[in-house]
Amino acid sequence: MRRTARQVLEANDRGDHTVASPHVYPYQWLWDSGFIALGWATIDGARAWRELETVLRGQAPDGFVPHVLAHRAPGRRFPDPDLWGRPGDPATSGITQPPVLASVALRLLEHARGAGAQSRRQGEAAALRLWPSLMAFHRWLHRERDPLGLGLVVSVHPWETGMDDSPAWDSPLAAVAPRAGPGPPELPGPTADRPGAAAYPRYLGLVDELRAAGYQSSALAVRGSFRVADAGTNAVMARADADLALLGRRLGAGTGDIEEAQGWARRSAEALSTLWDDDAGHFLSHDLVTGRALRPATSASFLGLWSGAASPSQVQRLAAHVEGWARGWHPVPSSDPEAASFDPRGFWRGSVWVNVNWMIAQGLGEHGEGALAQRMAADSRALLQGAGMREHFHARSGEGLGATDFSWTAALARWWLGME
Ligand code: GLC
């Protein structure tokens, strides 16, 4: 497994970035690059930082960081760069993804500090180079994606949440006008464990809307036809704001920057608590178009454990749900197994994802739930041993689903699961 994990990363390495998977996703994705950088840190510290530097090369002057960077166009693969109408070098998408980068940079720095004087110097220099871009990204998120000052970041496309087909998006997506005309492009691989074809006309209708609005996020975050405050993205945001402030302190960044990041961290943590539903005992995403909480609960809810912002009683209730959802299923199904929409092999509709598991287990460990965290790690390890470095896993059988040779699975096998 150690060798396989390393081979997958090396085979997917394109020198300064890593493709998410060679066949299905031949580009660099934003949140993927964060998890992948952690994997590289177990092999080559400098290469880990380069992954982040490269993804931030896609950053726009206003601070926006795109969710896909097409460094080279390797044939046609949907969604290809032309979809976005944002040519450039590299061509990029016009939407973003959960902001894990600051949290990753902090971990890389800590790792480098533990690996001797030279790595430490190299790590500090690299983190200092990234610092202005990370600040600019967070500033952009808080300014452009929180135009009403709720303290919550608004996602304007399901793909921005990283949990593309989550059943939580079914109702807000139903209100989006579908693109007329030819159906979805041909998708590689079997479709049962790939995003549902039915949603594609709406995904594309939304891209048309964003494109027509010139990707003016602040306007879309107030008027767009899809606007959600995602429990997952906002948990990641709260953690990343706090980690950014910590990173700034470790690096001796300017006090103005550090105070700004601390202010964001406080606001994000407070705002996350507004997504808590005490009856359900979950953080629930909110549809900002209708003002309603979105059901079913999904694994995004458990990222409250990662956020650093959950109260002790919230932690207890979330940990109890993790255990409950694991009864009969591999932890953690991506959606509530009791819900009618649950599908144990469905893409973000029930199947198990290693990146989310890592964040949940990390959060459990930090909150004194070490035994449950270890159980999750052991189960995730068994999934990889049984099925390899797959994109996601069947919540009942553990069968590997979606793309093979999936980079973030390989990276976290090394960083988290001890396969290094
Ligand atoms: C899918 C996943 C998303 C991931 C991307 C590339 O779209 O839903 O989270 O970033 O693939 O791996």
What domain count does the chain have? Answer: 1
Q: What is the pLDDT of residue 170?
A: 96
Nearest atom (ligand 1) to Cα of 355: 9
Contact 224, 213 (CB under 8 A): yes
Q: Is 164 a catalytic residue?
A: yes
Domain that holds residue 153: 2-415
Distance CA 110, CA 108 (A): 5
Calculate how far, in angstroms, residue 351's C-alpha sits from the geometric centre of ligand 1.
14
pLDDT digits (tens, 9 = 90+) for 298-313: 999 999 999 999 999 9
The answer to whether residue 168 is domain-embedded is yes
The CATH number given to whatever domain includes residue 134 is: 1.50.10.10
Distance CA 114, CA 129 (A): 20
The answer to whether residue 252 is domain-embedded is yes
Residue in 13, 230, 379, 391 annotated catalytic: 391
Ligand 1 contact, 20 CB (< 6 A):
yes
Q: What is the pLDDT of residue 189?
A: 46
pTM listed for this prediction: 0.97
Calculate mean pLDDT across residues 341-362: 97
Is pLDDT of 260 > 50?
yes
Q: What percent of the chain has pLDDT over 90?
A: 87
Calculate how far, in angstroms, residue 316's C-alpha sits from the geometric centre of ligand 1.
30
pLDDT digits (tens, 9 = 90+) for 266-283: 999 999 999 999 999 999
Q: Is 32 a catalytic residue?
A: no
The answer to whether residue 391 is domain-embedded is yes
Ligand 1 contact, 25 CB (< 6 A):
yes
Q: Which residues lie closer than 8 Å to 130 by C-beta, 6 or more apart? A: 49, 52, 53, 56, 101, 105
Partnered with residue 96 across adjacent β-strands are: none
Nearest atom (ligand 1) to Cα of 163: 8
Ligand 1 contact, 160 CB (< 6 A):
no
Is pLDDT of 327 > 50?
yes
The answer to whether residue 420 is domain-embedded is no
